[in-house]
């Protein structure tokens, strides 16, 4: 089953290549993230522009990135995202190179990073295999990509299987359905009891 976002995706790099890059994330990205993360976002945006541009992220956008990176969990994930999208091997895939623009990077940092930081630490995102796959797929989805060799339907099914937010949503829906079923059963039981009492009163 595919949602609208997955329908609009195109094939990107192999999932194994994205996971390998995440596994290779340098320790210093996590050790002292707040000091350098905002500068790394700016440098990465300049790199992605590919035309020698310097200081592409400036003004209000730079201020927003700087403010976000003062919060260490956000900074650690922002640095991790920068490390991922800078990978030359991933850029050898034309779809990834086209999707990983400076604007896309800023969007990842401003929108995806805070969402992921609420779910687990940057260390957990990198060191827990299931979380690492979720992070890889989350970044690809935000870039409008899906792993190479996966159809939109397969990519969506795999995302639903690893997404913490999706699993929590499904759990909430299941709990709500169970509550409604229990309420309906209780109402039916009360109705039958009243009908039985009415029939007994007529004897």
> Consecutive sets of 10 residues in the chain, 203 residues long: mean pLDDT of each?
63 97 91 77 92 80 87 92 96 96 94 93 93 96 96 94 76 65 75 75 66
**CB-based contacts of 150, cutoff 8 Å, min separation 6:** 11, 15, 158
Same domain, 134 and 169: no
Same domain, 137 and 200: no
Output the pLDDT for position 191.
77
Same domain, 52 and 20: yes
Regarding pTM above 0.85, the answer is no
Output the pLDDT for position 3.
52
Same domain, 172 and 203: yes
Residue found under tokens 């192999």: 14
Output the pLDDT for position 56.
82
Output the pLDDT for position 2.
43
Same domain, 70 and 154: yes
Same domain, 69 and 137: yes
Range of the domain at 104: 4-162
Same domain, 28 and 46: yes
Same domain, 72 and 97: yes
Return d(Cα 76, Cα 80) in angstroms, integer: 6
Same domain, 50 and 86: yes
Output the pLDDT for position 153.
95
Look at the chain and report how many structural domains it folds into.
2
Return d(Cα 154, Cα 11) in angstroms, integer: 12
Output the pLDDT for position 172.
63
Return d(Cα 9, Cα 143) in angstroms, integer: 8
Q: Helix 72-85 and helix 129-142: axis angle, to 10°? A: 70
């Amino acid at each position: 089953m595919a949602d609208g976002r997955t329908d609009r995706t195109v094939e990107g790099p192999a999932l194994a290549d994205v996971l390998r890059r995440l596994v290779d994330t340098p320790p210093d990205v996590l050790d002292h993230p707040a000091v350098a993360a905002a500068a790394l976002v700016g440098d990465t945006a300049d790199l992605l522009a590919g035309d020698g541009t310097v200081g592409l992220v400036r003004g209000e956008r730079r201020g927003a990135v700087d403010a976000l990176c003062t919060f260490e969990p956000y900074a650690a994930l922002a640095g991790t995202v920068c490390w991922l999208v800078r990978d030359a091997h991933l850029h050898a895939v034309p779809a990834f190179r086209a999707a990983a623009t400076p604007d896309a990077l800023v969007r990842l940092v401003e929108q995806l990073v805070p969402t992921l930081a609420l779910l687990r630490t940057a260390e957990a995102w990198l060191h827990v295999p299931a979380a690492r796959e979720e992070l890889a797929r989350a970044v690809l989805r935000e870039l409008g990509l899906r792993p190479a060799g996966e159809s939109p339907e397969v990519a969506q099914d795999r995302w639903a299987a690893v997404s913490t937010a999706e699993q929590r949503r499904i759990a909430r829906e299941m709990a709500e359905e169970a509550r409604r079923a229990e309420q309906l059963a209780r109402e039916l039981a009360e109705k039958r009891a009243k009908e039985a009492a009415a029939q007994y009163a007529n004897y």
